[in-house]
Amino acid sequence: MWPDRRLLELLGIELPIVQAPMAGASGGAMAVAVSEAGGLGSLPCALLDPERVRAEIGAIRRRTVRPLNVNFFCHPVPEPDAESAENWYAKFAPYRRKFGLDPSSVASAPNRSPFDEDMCDVVEECRPEVVSFHFGLPETRLLDRVKALGCKVLSSATTVREARWLARNGCDVVIAQGYEAGGHRGMFLTDAVESQPGAMALVPQVVDAVDVPVIAAGGIGDGRGIAAALALGAAGVQIGTAYLLTSESMISSLHRNALESACDDGTVLTNIFTGRPARGLINRIVREVGPMSPEAPVFPMAGDATAPIRYAAEAAGSSEFSPLWSGQSASLSRSGSAGELTRDLATRAQDRLGMLARPD
């Protein structure tokens, strides 16, 4: 059925499709739907506290016995830098005035916490089959605890060097995250966005560089993309943007509308919302302050300055000041449920693979 069964056997899944964990945009309902359909459902935990993670995993376990991926960020906790924060905050004064916001008011952006002791306790308690990390791997002490549970460990590489590092440091599977991918880039050994390779180049070079199975990510939006990823040597794919338009997605209707009219060159990598480069649709604030600003405070602190403006704009029906995460293939997406999407992607990928070798 599938050309490479390594990932299926390693993770105990039927279809080589991983639903990308998308913090703030997907939760337990989507994870359940994808895992029940035979793919790997993922619970993003970067915006959740340990209590909430425990509750979410519990709720998922009551609805499916299939494998689950639980995803954490593992960025260094930044030292607060008052001067950088103040300068950054000052940049947004005109926008605060536009929306009549108190110039001295501070609203906190959603807090993104890295994987720590408390989270590791929850993982030990809940024992998800798969644990994935973004921005590298946690410190050895924590990673060893996760691996001792028998959890399969995944993380994203944006370059061959990062892939080699992840494989050498205990990853069971490497996600090769192409330049096309939406949301935060997993980069952790480089900060050079302008030399990041696209999936067509990255995937085969990562496959050649590491012995573990490789999951391709970035710009994969339909059965053709899955077939292409497998052709490049990937054992499976991770798909995000297409799931943003499913019924289980938690994005705002503003974000949904923007995705529905997205075009192939309508996204950029921007650091203005969090301090790290992430791909989203181009809107007014990205155009005017970004896309990449050298002044943005260190991740995740940049968000505190944009958050109040975003909320005011959204309340007024505008998405021009919101992070509208998206990969470069939003136009390939179709709506429906996450389970239907997963099965449909698999069927179309199979059809495509068959057609390639048996032309009429």
Q: Which residues bind its own copies (CB under 8 A)?
A: 1-5, 158-161, 178-180, 190, 192, 194-202, 204-206, 208, 218-222, 224-225, 227-233, 263-269, 282, 291-292, 327-329, 331-332, 352-359
Per DSSP, 174 falls in state E
Q: State the nearest-atom distance from the C-beta of 170 to its own copies, in Å.
A: 22
Query: For residues 23 and 37, is the Cβ–Cβ distance under 8 A?
Result: no
DSSP H helices, the chain, are 6-11, 28-36, 50-63, 82-91, 93-98, 117-126, 140-148, 160-168, 199-209, 223-231, 241-244, 253-260, 284-289, 303-315, 338-357
DSSP state at residue 204: H
Q: Which is nearer to its own copies, 93 or 263 (CB)?
A: 263
C-beta separation of 279 from 185 below 8 A: yes
Q: How far is the CB of 331 from its own copies (least distance, A)?
A: 6
- Shortest CB 178 distance to its own copies, Å: 6
The CB-of-51 to its own copies minimum distance in angstroms stands at 39
Please, what is the minimum distance in Å from the beta carbon of residue 127 to its own copies? Answer: 32
Sheet-wide strand order for 152-157 = 17-19, 236-239, 214-217, 173-177, 152-157, 130-134, 68-73, 41-44
Nearer to its own copies, 136 or 218 (CB): 218
CA–chain centroid gap for 132, Å, is 10
Residue with Cβ nearer its own copies (107 or 209): 209
Q: What is the DSSP letter of 77?
A: P
For the CB of residue 87, give the shortest distance to its own copies in the complex, in Å.
Answer: 23
For its own copies, which is the closer residue by CB, 113 or 329? 329
Nearer to its own copies, 74 or 230 (CB): 230
| Integer Cα distance of 152 and 37 in angstroms | 20
Residue number with CB closer to its own copies (128 or 223): 223
Q: Which is nearer to its own copies, 2 or 133 (CB)?
A: 2
Structure tokens at 38: 């035979």
| Closest distance of CB 257 from its own copies, Å | 19
Taking the least distance from each CB to its own copies, the nearer of 87 and 347 is: 347
In whole angstroms, give the CA distance from residue 235 to residue 226: 10
Smallest distance, its own copies to C-beta of residue 233, A: 6
Cα–Cα distance for residue pair 199/162, rounded to 1 Å = 15
3-state secondary structure of 58: helix
Question: How many whole angstroms separate alpha carbon 312 and alpha carbon 306?
Answer: 10
